[in-house]
Amino acid sequence: HTWCQDCLVKAFDTAMTETLQFPPRCCGTNVEIHRCYSLLPKELMRRFEAKVEETATPNPTYCSNTKCGSFVRAQSIKGLTATCGDCGVETCVTCKGKKHNGLCPKDPNTQLLLDTAKTAKWKQCPHCNNMVELRSGCFHITCRCKYEFCYTCVKKWKTCRCSLWQENRLI
């Protein structure tokens, strides 16, 4: 089966904008990409390779900038922050919204954890957001991130006037 170069370019162009047409096919069979490199413009192949990466990514992140929306490649993700290669906007990889500090505002799993924490009277480290439980002892908490805070008011240790303990929490 042969294609003219114009039709091949059109098939690749269409495949990148129409999800159901990706990857490009002919007679129900995927076009052998390696055979097309020399026939297609380099810019089109660059865009196509980026699309292949995007479709192969299990939980893709897209730029949270509504005027952009570009796919953010894996090498542009550091920790929980994805930096768009097109416009530079930072996106949270968990909730896919604009980068923010702390826990994701609309994540249902986060909300479930926060509800459980409230019921169990856990506190959240103000430095790293890890949950902390005080079973007994004084209110001086040293989180696993090494940040020290008051369990009562969650302020930095030695910056509040809370009592150091409650009798019923001492062993």
Tell me the average pLDDT of the chain.
Answer: 86
Q: pLDDT tens digit string along 59-84?
A: 899 999 999 999 999 999 999 999 99
pLDDT at 170: 52
Report the alpha-carbon distance of residue 151 to residue 27 in Å, rounded: 66
- β-strands 71-72, 29-30: how paired? unpaired
Contacts of 62 (CB under 8 A, 6+ apart): 69, 70, 71, 72, 91, 96
Q: Could you state, in order of their start, the residue ranges of all structural domains in the chain?
A: 1-56, 57-100, 108-169
Q: pLDDT tens digit string along 17-49?
A: 887 788 888 888 888 888 888 889 999 998 888
Q: pLDDT tens digit string along 97-125?
A: 999 987 777 777 878 888 899 999 999 88
List, in sequence order, every residue forming a beta bridge with 72; answer none if it has no partner.
61
Among 164, 155, 126, 121, CA closest to 143: 126
